Structure formats: structure tokens, C-alpha cells
């Protein structure tokens, strides 16, 4: 796990080294163990390294071929690097390291730019071919690792985080179309970002940059179809087999590692698979809350006891006024999901002992783990769907409802929201898979839009804020491809979320852990808005700064806050979004010193 950055300079332009040094410095949390960059005058590749595989400085990046013709940097891990290394050795490659980045170097030399299709991993990769003058950028299939691009007069810049691009001197201008999508979906879907002129390379895509820039897809789930002959027993066996192998290859590490263990189905299943491969100590981590409605400590401890892990649990206090600016700073964009804050805290706990953890991320989207799916598919049935249901689902799962957007938004943000369809990316993603059944189409929408837009941002940014690597077996591309061969009805059979998944794991986990009610990993911030955080809300939303941006009706903001505090309406999600966007403006557009100090 690392951070990468660089630029391909435009003809006749020069970029001062200080700009690259600034990019490198602001990514240091992603890689505190080593740093480096290489340039041939036109193309610069840089890296900050968190050492997980091959801890020696031989694997520090950039790695450059012996003939000097190819340079590589990567952020992530290639889990099948051992198998690829043996295959490349058989073809004559000679290795100087035991790391996975050198495998990328030789894979490019032997198999060309499409080598990426052979990788099983999470990654953002930059390869510069000095012989052709072309630079290739790659992002992993499901979007676990971020990679941002910006085309400027000086050239094309790229980085693992947007703040590195800003550190290079790129303009700080809000993208109102993206902010409209934020108020529709509660996150900003790729390729859009909150900044005008900065885009997010889409998952499963690569960019070739020479005289021009060409972006193309190298992987998609569009060819996957549900298998009508698959039995439930076959689905259960396939899930167990893939989870086992995906976990096995994610245990490859030269640094100490453990797992996040909440006691939920996904994290417990991953720890069970870890126990199948590890005889010795397994370290697991969880945090709990004083509010019993949100505390999973007893379930985490039950799972830890079952699988004999060395478990560390901590009840934490939520210092929201400190944690909120920090989480927005590390995300670079507004997010309305406050579970980023406890993810930051459990990462802080784990990193005291380990450098890498396994998690259960991805299981909900692939196998229908959210209760919201039963809202559109009652008892797992799709019979009540009507024409245009995809748009209805996108809006129902979104942020603003009824006349809220018409009343709340003003100026350019009102225009951006109402002149286009800000829900379009999620709705279009569901329509893009006509060969799938309706349940799987919804899950594909969430897998391709929600997952990389929000749910994978959380573990990457919050763990990397603490220099901790996160690996998720459910995000193995083989698991994703398999999941969408499983007919959707199996996933919501009898009105049970993750039905076939639970059937697959119940013998291993026991009924209590398998069928316990799902708890969201979050905090009761809506209740806090009514008492301990009321003044904080007023300070953030009603001090005149939000109103001065000309994007929101101040009277409506005050009306919404007072209605929530009085208990007349539950406007938790809307207030969270308003606070998040105001924090984002102060951090990234205003560069407010007080807010930046809080974030630090």
C-alpha cells in the first residue's frame, strides 16, 4: 500500500521539482516507510511507500528496468504475484527483489500494456515506457484504490489523492454538477469529483498517455449472466471456495497483520477463513460505543472466542468536532456517511500492532446485505416492479426527497441539480445490465457506483490516514464475477438478506452469528444533533458562511435544523450532508486555517 503521483509534461512546458515535492509531502501518510521519484525530463513518477511485501529498500519505488527503458510505481498489492513471478521466470525474467512491484515491471515488459488483465489485486499503477514515450495508468477492477487525473496547460497530472494535485498548484474550483450528485446520492460517483478539472479514473479502466490521452475499459461485469441451472448448494459451495482462496492469497505479507472484527457476518466469515489457514495467533480489532443501539462489542467478542483470536476492543468517545474535519480532509470530497469516523478510530487502534488488516467490505453489495433491498423486493420478489423502477430506486435511496431540493438549493447548485438528472449514474448502471435479473441489477448498480463512490473510499482513506493497509477478500474480482452468476432470488430468498450466503456459512459460524440482526457501523449522530451537537450544528450551518456561498436557502437550512431538533422530522442525513459540504468548502476552497488545524 502506497501513494503514487506524477505528471506527463506538455510540449514546451517545465514543472518545477518543488511541485512534485509538495505532492509527495502531502501523501506521506499513505507511505511513511520510503519515498522516491524518477523523471526523464518529460514524465515524472513518484511514490511514498508503506512496506508490506519485501520490506527491504530493494523494493522502494519507482522501480526501473535494468536497461532503463521502463519505470513503474504502484499503490496497492498484487495478490497473485507469486504465481505470476514463476510464470515470468519461466519466460526468462530475472528478478532482483521478492516484491510484487517488480512483477508488474516484468509483466509489462513481457506481455505489454494489457498485462493488467492477469493481475489479481487492488491497485493504482503508473508505467512509463521510455522507448515509446507513453505512460500507462491503471485502476483495479472494482475501484478499491483511487487514482485522480487532471489535464492542465502544463501537462497531465495524476495522484492517489486529490490534495496532492492541489499541492501541485491546480486550481481550487467547485464542480457544481458533482455537488448536485452529492446531494442526490450522498456521495460523488466516479469519474466526477468535487473539483472542476479533476476526474477519477473509473474502476476497471486504463489510460494511455502519449501525444494524446486515451482511456478505455479493460474489465467489466457486463458479460456475466445468472446461471439458471445453478442450485443453492452449488452457490453455497462456490461462495465458500472463493472466499477461502481470496483470503488465502490476501494473507501474503512480510509485515504483521490482523483483521477488523465487528462480529457481523462479513468480518466474521473472513476471520473464519483466516483461521482455516493460520494455526497461530490472529489479531483482531473492534471498537464499541456507549450507546447500546450501535455497540457490537458482545458480537465481536463472541466471534473472537469462537475463532480463538487475540482480540482488542475499545469503547471510544466520539469527538465529532475533531473527527469530522479530519475525515473530510482525508477524503478530499464531501461525504454524508459518518461511519468514516469510527473507521478512522478502529484503524488507529489496529495500527498500534499491525500494518495490514483484512476486512469484510463488499459482501453487502455482492450478496444483498442491506435491508433497503427488501423495500423494493419484498420477500425477495420482483413481481411488483413497474416501468422506470430503476429511477425510483435511485431516488428512494438518495438524499433529498419530495420538494427538499427545490426549497433548499439555490443559485448554480439549484440549476445543476434540476437541469440534469443527478441520480443518473446509479439509475443508468442498473439499466446497463439487461441480461441480469432485477435483484442483481440493483446489486450491480451498487457494486459499480455506490461501492467505489463511497463504501470503498471509507476503508482506503481512513486506514491510510493512519498508514494502515486494508485487504478485502470479497473484493476479489473472481468473487464479483461469481456473485453475479448466482440468481438474485437466492440472495433474498424468503425475505432474508444474504440468504444463500448465510446458508453457506451457518455451519461454520453458528446460527447466532450468522442470523443476528445487521447493525450499521455508525454513530447516533442524529440524536446528538438534538442535544450535545445542537450548537455545533448552528455554528456550522447558521453563522452566515454557508449562506454566503449562494448555494443554499439559509431560511430553509434553519427551518430544517429546528424541525430536527424539535423532533418533528428526522433530517439526520440532510443535516450531515450540509455540515460535510460546509467543512469541505472551508478546508479546500477557503483554506481556512482554523479548520485545517482541526483536521490535522
At residue 318, the pLDDT reads 65
Pairing of strands 205-209, 213-217: antiparallel
Domains, the chain, with CATH or none: 2-173+200-217 (3.60.20.10), 232-369+438-444+467-515 (3.40.50.620), 383-431 (no CATH), 525-599 (no CATH)
Asked whether residue 100 is marked as a ligand-binding residue, the answer is: yes
Please list the residues that pair with 285 across neighbouring strands. 260, 312
- Residues 508, 510, 516, 520, CA torsion sign: negative
Q: Which three cell numbers stand for residue 181?
A: 450528485
At residue 520, the pLDDT reads 65
At residue 527, the pLDDT reads 87
Below-50 pLDDT ranges, the chain:
none
Which are the catalytic amino acids? 2
H helices of 286-421, where?
A: 297-306, 320-331, 340-350, 363-367, 372-376, 389-396, 404-408, 411-419
Q: Which three cell numbers stand for residue 313?
A: 476492543
Q: Is 451 left (phi over 0), alpha (psi -120 to 50) or beta?
A: alpha
At residue 384, the pLDDT reads 86
At residue 521, the pLDDT reads 63
Asked whether residue 287 is marked as a ligand-binding residue, the answer is: yes
Sheet holding 356-358, edge to edge: 310-315, 283-288, 257-260, 356-358, 469-471
Per-residue pLDDT of 180-197, as tens digits, reads 999 999 999 999 999 999
Alpha-carbon span 126 to 180, nearest angstrom? 31
> What b-and-e string marks burial along 336-372, b requiring 16 or more CB atoms within 10 Å of the CB?
bbbbbbbbbbbbbbbbeebbbbbbbbbbbbbbbbbee
Q: Which three cell numbers stand for residue 419?
A: 437541469
389-396 and 438-445 are packed helices; what angle lies between their axes, rounded to 10 degrees?
Answer: 40
207 membership: H or E segment, kind and range: strand 205-209
Q: Which three cell numbers stand for residue 444?
A: 450491480
Alpha-carbon span 240 to 505, nearest angstrom? 8
In 3D space, the residue among 365, 462, 442 whose CA is nearest the CA of residue 396 turns out to be 442
Residue 259 per-residue DSSP state: E
Q: Which three cell numbers stand for residue 442?
A: 440493483
Amino acid at each position: 500500500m502506497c501513494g503514487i503521483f506524477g505528471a506527463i509534461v506538455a510540449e514546451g512546458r517545465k514543472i518545477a521539482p518543488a511541485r512534485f515535492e509538495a505532492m509527495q509531502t502531502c501523501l506521506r501518510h499513505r507511505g511513511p516507510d520510503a519515498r522516491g521519484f524518477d523523471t526523464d525530463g518529460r514524465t515524472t513518477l513518484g511514490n511514498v511507500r508503506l512496506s508490506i511485501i519485501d520490506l527491504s529498500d530493494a523494493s522502494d519505488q519507482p522501480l526501473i528496468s535494468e536497461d532503463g527503458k521502463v519505470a513503474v510505481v504502484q499503490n496497492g498489492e498484487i495478490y497473485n504475484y507469486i504465481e505470476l513471478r514463476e510464470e515470468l521466470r519461466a519466460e526468462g525474467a530475472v528478478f532482483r527483489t521478492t516484491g510484487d512491484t517488480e512483477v508488474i515491471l516484468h509483466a509489462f515488459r513481457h506481455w505489454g500494456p494489457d498485462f493488467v488483465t492477469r493481475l489479481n489485486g487492488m491497485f493504482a499503477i503508473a508505467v512509463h515506457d521510455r522507448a515509446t514515450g507513453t505512460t500507462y495508468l491503471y485502476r483495479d477492477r472494482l475501484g478499491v484504490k483511487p487514482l485522480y487525473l487532471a489535464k492542465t496547460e502544463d501537462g497531465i497530472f495524476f495522484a492517489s489523492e486529490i490534495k496532492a494535485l492541489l499541492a501541485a498548484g491546480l486550481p481550487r474550483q467547485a464542480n457544481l454538477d458533482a455537488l448536485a450528485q452529492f446531494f442526490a446520492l450522498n456521495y460523488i460517483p466516479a469519474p466526477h469529483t468535487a473539483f472542476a478539472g479533476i476526474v477519477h479514473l473509473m474502476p476497471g479502466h486504463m489510460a494511455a498517455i502519449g501525444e494524446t490521452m486515451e482511456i478505455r475499459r479493460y474489465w467489466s461485469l457486463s458479460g456475466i449472466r445468472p446461471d439458471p441451472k445453478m442450485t443453492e448448494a452449488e452457490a453455497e459451495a462456490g461462495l465458500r471456495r472463493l472466499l477461502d482462496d481470496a483470503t488465502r492469497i490476501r494473507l501474503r505479507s512480510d509485515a504483521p497483520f490482523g483483521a477488523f472484527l465487528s462480529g457481523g457476518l462479513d468480518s466474521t466469515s473472513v476471520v473464519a477463513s483466516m483461521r482455516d489457514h493460520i494455526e497461530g495467533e490472529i489479531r483482531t480489532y473492534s471498537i464499541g460505543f456507549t450507546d447500546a443501539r450501535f455497540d457490537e462489542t458482545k458480537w465481536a467478542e463472541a466471534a473472537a472466542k469462537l475463532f480463538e483470536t487475540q482480540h482488542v476492543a475499545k469503547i471510544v468517545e466520539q469527538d465529532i468536532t475533531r473527527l469530522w474535519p479530519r475525515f473530510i480532509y482525508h477524503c478530499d470530497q464531501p461525504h454524508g456517511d459518518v461511519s468514516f469516523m469510527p473507521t478512522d478510530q478502529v484503524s488507529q487502534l489496529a495500527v498500534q500492532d499491525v500494518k495490514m488488516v483484512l476486512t469484510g467490505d463488499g459482501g453487502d453489495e455482492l450478496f444483498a446485505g442491506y435491508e433497503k433491498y427488501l423495500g423494493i423486493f419484498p420477500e425477495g420478489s420482483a413481481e411488483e416492479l413497474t416501468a422506470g423502477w430503476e429511477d425510483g430506486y435511485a431516488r428512494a435511496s438518495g438524499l433529498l426527497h419530495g420538494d427538499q431540493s427545490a426549497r433548499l438549493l439555490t443559485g448554480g447548485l439549484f440549476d445543476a441539480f434540476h437541469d440534469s438528472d443527478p441520480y443518473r449514474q446509479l439509475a443508468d448502471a442498473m439499466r446497463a445490465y439487461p441480461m441480469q435479473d432485477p435483484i442483481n441489477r440493483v446489486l450491480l448498480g451498487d457494486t459499480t457506483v455506490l461501492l467505489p463512490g463511497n463504501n470503498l473510499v471509507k476503508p482506503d482513506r481512513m486506514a491510510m490516514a493512519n498508514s494502515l493497509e486494508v485487504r478485502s477478500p470479497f473484493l476479489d474480482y473472481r468473487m464479483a464475477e461469481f456473485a453475479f452468476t448466482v440468481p438474485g432470488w437466492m440472495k433474498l430468498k424468503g425475505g432474508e438478506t444474504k440468504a444463500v450466503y448465510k446458508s453457506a456459512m451457518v455451519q461454520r459460524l453458528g446460527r447466532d452469528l450468522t442470523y443476528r440482526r445487521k447493525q450499521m457501523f455508525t454513530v447516533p449522530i442524529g440524536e446528538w444533533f438534538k442535544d450535545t451537537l445542537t450548537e455545533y450544528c448552528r455554528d456550522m450551518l447558521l453563522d452566515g458562511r454557508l449562506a454566503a456561498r449562494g448555494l443554499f436557502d439559509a431560511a430553509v437550512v434553519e427551518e430544517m435544523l429546528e424541525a430536527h431538533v424539535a423532533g418533528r422530522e428526522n433530517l439526520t442525513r440532510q443535516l450531515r450532508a450540509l455540515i460535510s459540504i460546509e467543512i469541505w468548502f472551508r478546508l479546500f476552497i477557503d483554506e481556512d486555517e482554523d479548520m485545517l488545524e482541526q483536521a490535522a
